Each structure stands twice: as C-alpha cells, then as structure tokens.
Chains A and B, each alone.
Chain A
Amino acid sequence: MIKGKFIDNLPKVYGIYTGGFIGFIILMAIGEQMGMTAKAIGIAFVAFTIFIYALIGYLSRTAQADAYYVAGRQVPTVFNGMATAADWMSGASFVAMAGGIYFKGYGYMALLVGWTGGYILVATLLAPYLRKFGCYTVPDFIGTRYGGNLARLLAVIVLTVASFTYVTAQINATGTIASVALDIDFKYAVYVGLISILLCSMLGGMRAVTWTQVAQYIVLIIAYLLPIFWISNKMGAGFFPHFMLADEVARIGELEAQFGFVKNSAADLATVPKGLAGITKAHSAVNATPWAFISLALAMMMGTASLPHVMMRYFTTPSVKAARKSVGWSLFFIFLLYSSAPMLATLSKLSLIDPTLSTGIIGKSFAEVQSIDWYQNWNQANLMFISDFNGNGTLELNEFFMGGKAVVLATPEIAGLPYVISGLVAAGGMAAAMSTADGLILAIANAISHDVYYKMIDPKAETAKRLLVARLLLVVIGFAGATIAAMKIQGILGSVIWAFDFAMSGLFFPLVLGVWWKRANRQGAIAGMALGLASSIWYLVWVRTGGSGFLGITQLTFGIFGAAVSFVSMVVVSLMTAEPDKATQRMVDEVRIPSGRSITGK
C-alpha cells in the first residue's frame, strides 16, 4: 500500500525535499547574481513554498475519519516532533521573539523559559494519558472522562476562545508577510494567507496538516538559522554563535554603560511612529523582579500544557511510549530556534550600536545615517526611525527607534547579506505562521464537528457527512479569523499571550485532575471550566479598564488567577458532590496503564 510505503520512506522523502529546497535557495542566489530583482526573489520564495505545501495537502487527501482527525495514528516520533515544533512556533516566535529579546532583555526571556518548560508538564502530566485514552479531540477526553454534554460543551467553548484569540494573530502574520513579499494590500493579503492555509488542511485534515507541518518546519528552521550563522561569521563574532558570543554580550554591556539610557521627554516620544521603540533596557542584566519573571514563565508553562492544538498532535503517535518520546523531540526542535533567538538579538544590537563596526550607526552624523540604503528602505517600511532630539547632529542611543520585527527582517540586510536571504526569511516567517494557523483552525473545527455535531447533535451521522461538516467549519472559522485579522485590533504578541492565559484558566486543571485525581467528578469539572474561564475574562477586562490588579498579576499573566479559581472551585465542588461511578473510576485506572486497548476502543 502506498500509505505504508510512505511512512517507511519518510526520511528519504523529506531528505529529498530538504535537498530540493536548498537547491532552490542556490538557484535564487544565482538568479540574484544574474540580475533578478529583489521583488521577484521574494515572490518566488513565498509562491514556491506555498505551492509545495498545497501539493502535500492535496496528496494527503482522505475520506477516513481516523486519518482526518488523528492522521491514522501512525506518525513516527521524530516527525511528529517536527510537526509539533512547526505547529507550536508561530509567526510571533519567528518574527517577533528576537525583537522582544532585543528590546526587553531578561524580562522578556521569561517567555523562552515558559514556552519550553511547559513541555515537561505536557510529557509528564498529560500527553501519554490522553494518547492512551484514544480520543479525537481534547473536549472528547473531557466529555468521556466526566460524562455529559455540558462538560463537553464547556471544553469546546474554552478551546474556541483560546484558539480563536491565537489564530487571528497568525492570519494577521501571514497577511503581513504576504503583503510585503507579494507587494499587495494587507486587506487582500490576509485572504491570500487564509487560502494558502486552507489549501494545506481542507482535503486531508490532520494527516495533511501533519505532513505539511514537517515540510514547514524544515523551511522555517533553515530560514532562521542560516542567516544567524552567516551574520556571526561575517562579523567575526564566531563560527558557532551559541557558544561564542560572550564577548559580544559583554561588549553590549560596556556600550550601554558608556551611552547610558537617556530618557526621552513625552513630547519627543510622541513624534516617534507607533509601534517603534528605542533601546531602554539592559541587554543581559537582570531587569525584572523575580516574581515578574517567574509569574510570566509559570503562566506560559501552564498555558502550554492546556493548548489543544498542541495536545492533539500527540494523539497521532502510534503508541503511548511514542507520545512521550515525541514530546522530547518536539522540544528539541523548538530548542533549536529558541536558543538561537537571543544570539540573533545580540548580533543585531551589536552591529547597530557599536561605533567601531562599519555597520554601527550610533555616533554617526544624521546626514550619514540617512544616506544609508538599508536605513532608507526600513524607514520607508515604517520599521526604523531616527530623530535628533538634542539637536547635536550626531545619533545617540536614545534617538534611534526600530520595530520589533526588524530584528529578524532587517538584520540580514544590515549585515550585508544578499537579498536571497531576505526572501528565505520571508518564506520562513510564512511557514511559521501558516503551520500554527493550520493547527489552530483544525483544532477548533474538529472540536465543533466531532464534539458538538457528531457527539451531541447527530450521533448517527455517516463518516462522509461528518467530514463534510468538518471541512465546512474549517472554511467558516478561517474566514471569521481572517475578517477579524483584517481589522488589526491587537498586535501579534498580545493576543498570543492571552490565548495561553485563557487556555490555562479553563482547561489546565480539568485535564490534569482528570488523570491524576480519581475523585474529580463532572460537577467539579463543570465548575472548574466555567468559573476558571469567566474569572479570567473578568480579570482581563478589569485590568484593561484601569483596574489595579493584585499580587502583581498583569494582563499578560491573568491566567494564574483564572487557573487558581478553576482549581479551587473544581476541588471544592467535586468534594461536595458524589464521587464518580465505578465505571468512570475503572476508566481512570485503565488510562494510567500504557498497554492494552484505548478507552474509546480503537
């Protein structure tokens, strides 16, 4: 059978694919030498990669429920790890993370620790047990473990709130990249992005998304690492930046002490275009209180373990033990990018602020900086800005402003790399945003089609009808997300972090206690989900409308409050009501043992 053969040949297939992609990069580099324009290269990169993903999506089409919902449960650990890494690393991770580190330093790096540490919770508390359960979706676990349609519905609601908050940011990111690379208006670019996303997932569901995500991971990791190694070597900072940038980090510290962080007046700052920021915080020094750092890391860790689009990736492995290993591989592939982001931030900052480097602009005259090609380009793109506040004619550290995205997008150009690298980076950003959007839209559509339509409305529906509903929902949810993204209400990162907070408020404890506390019952789970989500929304609204908050819980970490409410209400209500029946308790015992049939009987 072709399918079996495909699984056996995975390393070969993706090996050829990777070789082909590198060949394409070389082809573009030759094209650039022969006079291909920057715009043509950008279009070629984005269009070529999207075409490949769509082709994979088409080849993975399926009419079987098992393949559509859980990729037939035969994805090998390493490949599932790559797919999860692509699923996980969003447009924000790719485009905005290095920028966040560049501007905020230590306080922001809590996100790095949080977004990786969360996988320990996934591996130990949840993934293997949910895999043993054999469910199609996360609400499927809640619905079967606690019983009753209300618990199932609440899980669908929490999932939808969290994932939808997240997906608009991803569609926004695909729109931004498509509009730059293809040179079309953002309003239309959003829908170009959406159609590319749907091409990957519509025909083959989880199976198609799995194999496109692996392909997208390969593109995004090459696009992220190649420029960093190249820049580091070009600057003479070291051939392996991760182990060799200590001097550069120390040098940035020296320069910061030399320049000082001069505060700009409010009137001066008002003239800076929206979204741009100056360097106001130390690069490597500790600039946040322990609680500010720890609370943010903790919120992201618990959020990681509650996000359904990540959890459902572990439903696709062939076994429970494969699910565990697969979490390790996921984190390894994520680690490759996350550990590189601070290196890029360091290289980018040093190349801009060190007056002894040829690329350094601090200390140069304004006329000189304004005549630099790349400055003009990125100033036009609204990502760079300088202004002579003190009128002395030389650029000071506090007179230089940049957008967070510029760290990833502009650094290759500043360092003098050929344009082919910028095209590659655009393709990488597109891959990152598309893969996450696909996972999220699929998570929502699957939950509604499987848990609401099939389990509650029409349990007798035939497979063909179920999959038709699932596909229709995919389109509807995608368009809803794109429409909201086109309105541009939140920045990329703000809404991403909210998604973690919503997810942990409603789902963390109902999921974890479902496995680890036999006494947890339906009433408790309902209270935990409903009150957890409601209280987190209340807290967010309160803080956003001028509320002071308490215990230093901010609009980035409000999930800590929501999860605490969820935990207390779940435990109290569970203990006040009758314990779960014998059948449910036996089910929990079964879940705790890796061998044997899955709970749902597949």
Chain B
Amino acid sequence: MSNATKHWEKTRSLLFITLAIWFVFSIGIFLFGAEMNEVTGPFGYPWTYWFTCQGSLGIFVILIFWFANRQEKIDKEFGFNERGDD
C-alpha cells in the first residue's frame, strides 16, 4: 500500500471519529431532550437547556481544535506536512 493510501485511510478514520462525536452532541442527545431536561446539570441549569445554550456549542469548538491537531500529526507521520507557514 502506498504512503498516500495509508495517509488517506488514517485521515478517514479520524473523520469518522470526529463525525461520531459531532453526531452525539448535535443530534443524538436531543432524541432524549425532554428526559434530560429533568436533571440539573452544569451551573444549575437543566441539562438540555445547558447543552443548547453552551454545552454543545462549546464542545464543537474544542472538537475542531482537537481534530485539527490530530490531522496535523497524521500529515506529519506520512511526511505530508506543509513547511514554513502557519
């Protein structure tokens, strides 16, 4: 298997992991919105309310930076990283 194919396979698995997390916090948890809202969550807000105000949004921000770092590592591993700029 060529270097490029291996790189793409790893890239694809990272995509699936990232999208799985994305799915949980953008769609999955809201299947149980009513039940989850009965429970008190962070800072005393009801859980579902907190997710829609801050939780999911904040997780998305962190998820993108995490994804970007992982992808950079994969690129470096196969020697496909860009030089110089940032």
Contacts and interface: CB of A to CB of B under 8 A. Distances in A.
B4 A285 contact: no
B71 A331 contact: no
Contacts of A595: 75, 79-83
Contact of A331 (B19, B31, B64): B64
Contact of B52 (A113, A125, A242, A589): A113
A244 interface: yes
Interface stretch (A174-182, A320-328, A354-362): A320-328
Contacts of A285: 37
B74 to A, nearest CB: 10
A319 B30 contact: no
A476 interface: no
A9 B46 CA distance: 45
Interface in B2-59: 4, 7-8, 11, 15, 18-19, 22, 25-27, 30-34, 37, 43-46, 48-49, 51-54, 56-58
Nearest to A243: B43
A328 B61 contact: yes
B31 A319 contact: no
Nearest to A120: B22
A119 B64 contact: yes
Interface in B61-86: 61, 63-65, 67-68, 71-72, 75, 79-83, 85-86
A110, A245, A290, A328: which has the most chain B beta carbons within 10 Å?
A328
Given A294-B27, A327-B64, A328-B65, A339 B53 contact: yes
A290 B30 contact: yes
A297 B86 CA distance: 33
B68 A106 contact: no
A342 B58 CA distance: 14
Interface string A322-343: 1011011001100100110011
Contacts, number: 148
B52 A112 contact: yes
Given A106-B48, A298-B27, A593-B7, A321 B64 contact: no
Contact of B37 (A116, A286, A593): A286
A124 B45 contact: no
B60 to A, nearest CB: 5
A339 B54 contact: yes
B8 A117 contact: no
B38 to A, nearest CB: 9
Contacts of A343: 53
A325 B68 contact: yes
A594 interface: yes
Contact of A286 (B7, B48, B81): B48
B18 A246 contact: no
Contacts of A116: 56-57, 60-61
Contacts of A121: 22
Given A249-B45, A321-B68, A593-B4, A332 B61 contact: yes
Nearest to B34: A286
B26 A117 contact: yes
Contacts of A293: 30, 33
A128 B30 CA distance: 29
A319 B82 CA distance: 8
A284 interface: yes
Given A286-B33, A324-B71, A325-B65, 11 more contacts: A120-B26, A128-B71, A244-B43, A249-B49, A284-B49, A320-B82, A321-B82, A322-B86, A335-B57, A595-B79, A595-B80
Interface of A: 76-77, 106, 109-110, 112-114, 116-117, 119-121, 123-125, 128, 242-247, 249-250, 284-286, 288, 290, 293-294, 297-298, 301, 318-322, 324-325, 327-328, 331-332, 335, 338-339, 342-343, 589, 592-595
The 8 lowest CB-CB distance pairs between A and B, nearest first, are A246-B44, A117-B26, A328-B64, A109-B52, A324-B68, A342-B53, A120-B22, A284-B49
22 contacts: A112-B53, A113-B26, A113-B52, A116-B60, A116-B61, A120-B26, A124-B67, A243-B43, A249-B45, A284-B46, A284-B49, A286-B33, A294-B31, A298-B27, A318-B85, A321-B86, A331-B60, A331-B61, A331-B64, A338-B57, A339-B57, A594-B81
Interface of B: 4, 7-8, 11, 15, 18-19, 22, 25-27, 30-34, 37, 43-46, 48-49, 51-54, 56-58, 60-61, 63-65, 67-68, 71-72, 75, 79-83, 85-86
